[in-house]
With several copies, the nearest count.
Chain A
Amino acid sequence: MKKEHMTVGAIREIAHRIYEMKLFGTIATEVKMPGQFLHILPSHQLQPLLRRPISISHVNQEEKELTIVFRREGEGTTLLANKTPGDTVDVLGPLGNGFQVEEVSAGDSVLIVGGGVGVPPLYDLARALKEREANVTTVLGFENKEAMFYEKAFQSFGEVFVSTVDGSIGTKGFVTDVIQEKNISFDRLYACGPVPMLKALETNYPEAVGSLSLEIRMGCGIGACFACVCHVQGDASGHDYRKVCSDGPVFPWREVVL
């Protein structure tokens, strides 16, 4: 965990309002697992004030290179999207706990489900699982064809299915529709995306083994401010909690209340 000015490498718009950016710096050498994230300061002025959490999509340790993929949403991600190669950005990272790939064995059937900007952290997860010789299937959900990205990238790890809300490509509907339609079975399930998607998966697969990654509004990003807590499932006291930034953002299924 480190605060560093990383250097921006290539940046390109890979889908409608979706940007892929390379960042160079020693933070890359500290990444331990897929699913960790960066806390990025988009500006050195007092506005916007706070850092933005963005997942690490891919690490190249030798090149000290990180890849992030983000949607141009509000002020912060717009400033980020306007960076040009050679610019520096103030980055805190790597933060949080990611996906434990050690729990997967060769030959396991693994289903990876990503929705929208929940897709990026799953990229290095899929790669790692493929390396562990798991049978990887990926289901990616997007708003529409224009917003789709990385569906080709995931094909190098296994079969890929896509759903779009408007049906402009792939199955019309949600990721859960694809899984049912294609009758996909799995030993392990990994997911990242909007909470309604995660909830639908939890409802449909109440016994799922694996983990999910959560998004929540953050302050510090390092566990100090308690902005990002969530309840723990089955906690009778009501006081038990997990911090998404430092305990997560990746949690086993059914550990936290979605």
Chain B
Amino acid sequence: MTALRVELPGLDMKNPIMPASGCFGFGEEYAKFYDLNVLGAIALKAATHKPRFGNETPRVAETPAGMLNAIGLQNPGVEKIVSEKLPWLEQFETPLLANVAGSQVEDYVETATVLSQSGKVAALELNISCPNVKEGGIAFGTDPDLAAELTRRVKAVSDIPVYVKLSPNVTDIVVIAQAVEKAGADGLSMINTLTGMKIDINTGRPLIANETGGLSGPAIKPIAIRMIREVRRQTELPIIGMGGITSVEDVIEFFLAGADAVAVGTANFINPYICPTLIKELEEWMEAKGYHHLRDVKRKGGWA
């Protein structure tokens, strides 16, 4: 097992595999299938300052080798998460990466403060794909200045490391990565979903009530791999890679692209055991290859 250990800021992971935010709730459902202690970490479902119902249904639609979702950040609000969800998670030794969302800088700051002070999470993951209501709906993640400002403000209130989760819906993701790095980010998560749409030809209307949704799953993997490699070339920040992982080969591909750990989202819906399966298969693959450490895999990708 030691060969799989990864130490990232705030996250001492016994292996590099975690479920991705929003695809694993707060762990309760998957704990019925396996012991969450096996996971490298757990990225929690997004928390916002106030409780949110989220969008109307349908909230999901299937697309070729992918799916759209527009859950709309449904969550009970950060206070309830800290008081009702995190205590249950404390029974596990697995570090928690708390996903933070909001529609204005103040929301993020409030939420981050509460989570950081809770003493129950190991690091924060800023979901900067949300539209900034004050700036007229431009997503924080698409404007380097907004992204940097948000990072700075959250870093100022957080005692724990802050990962910024980048949106792929941008012309140049490296610019955003560099902006949040300068602003003090401790790491990057990438990628979030690509904005997509599916129209029901029987009704003529978008299949998702919210009209657009976020595209995830294998379909987006080539875009994730490209963006991670682009960003890895320009920054030393640790990268948690995600986007379409369903197999151990995919996990390895992310390491070769430059990721330091990976998150698995959509695949949990297909196979609830996917995370423990990938952990086991990764270990077997490394053994078969004679690799002693994940560094050996990364070196093969050209990263020392």
**Touch test A–B (CB under 8 Å):** yes
Using a CB–CB distance below 8 Å, which chain A residues touch chain B?
1, 3, 41, 46-51, 92, 216-231, 237-239, 241, 246
- With A49-B62, A49-B218 as known contacts, state yes or no: A227 contacts B57, CB within 8 Å: yes
Distance (whole angstroms) from the CB of A237 to the closest CB of chain B: 8
Please classify the interface of chain B as helix (H, G, I), strand (E, B), loop, or mixed, using the class held by over half of its residues: loop
What residue in chain B is nearest A221 (Cβ atoms)? Answer: B269
Binary interface encoding of chain B residues 29-60 relative to chain A, with 1 for a CB under 8 A from any of its CBs, else 0:
11011000000000001000001111001111
In the complex, besides A3-B271, A224-B268, A241-B53, 14 extra interface pairs with C-beta distance below 8 angstroms are A3-B272, A46-B65, A49-B65, A49-B218, A50-B269, A51-B269, A220-B269, A221-B269, A224-B23, A224-B24, A225-B269, A226-B74, A229-B54, A237-B51
Count A-B contacts at CB 8 Å: 101
In the complex, the 5 A-B pairs of residues with the closest C-beta atoms, listed nearest first: A224-B25, A224-B29, A217-B58, A227-B60, A220-B269
Binary interface encoding of chain B residues 265-295 relative to chain A, with 1 for a CB under 8 A from any of its CBs, else 0:
0101111110000000000000000000000
Q: Within 8 Å of chain A (Cβ to Cβ): is B103?
A: no
Interface size on B, residues (CB 8 A): 38
What residue in chain A is nearest B70 (Cβ atoms)? Answer: A227
**Residues in chain A near residue B30, CB distance under 8 A:** 222, 224
Distance (whole angstroms) from the CB of B271 to the closest CB of chain A: 7
Residues B8-39 near A (CB distance < 8 A): 22-25, 28-30, 32-33
Most buried by B among A1, A47, A227: A227
**Residues in chain B near residue A239, CB distance under 8 A:** 51-53, 76
Find out whether the CB atom of B65 lies under 8 angstroms from the CB atom of A47. Answer: yes
**Residues in chain A near residue B28, CB distance under 8 A:** 223
Q: Within 8 Å of chain A (Cβ to Cβ): is B147?
A: no
A221 to B246, CA, bound (A): 18
What residue in chain A is nearest B209 (Cβ atoms)? Answer: A217
16 A-B residue pairs with Cβ-Cβ distance under 8 Å, sorted by A, are A3-B273, A46-B246, A50-B269, A216-B57, A217-B60, A219-B67, A219-B69, A219-B269, A220-B29, A222-B29, A222-B32, A223-B28, A224-B25, A225-B269, A226-B71, A241-B74
A235 to B51, CA, bound (A): 14
Residues B86-108 near A (CB distance < 8 A): none
A216 to B207, CA, bound (A): 12
Most buried by A among B53, B74, B218: B53
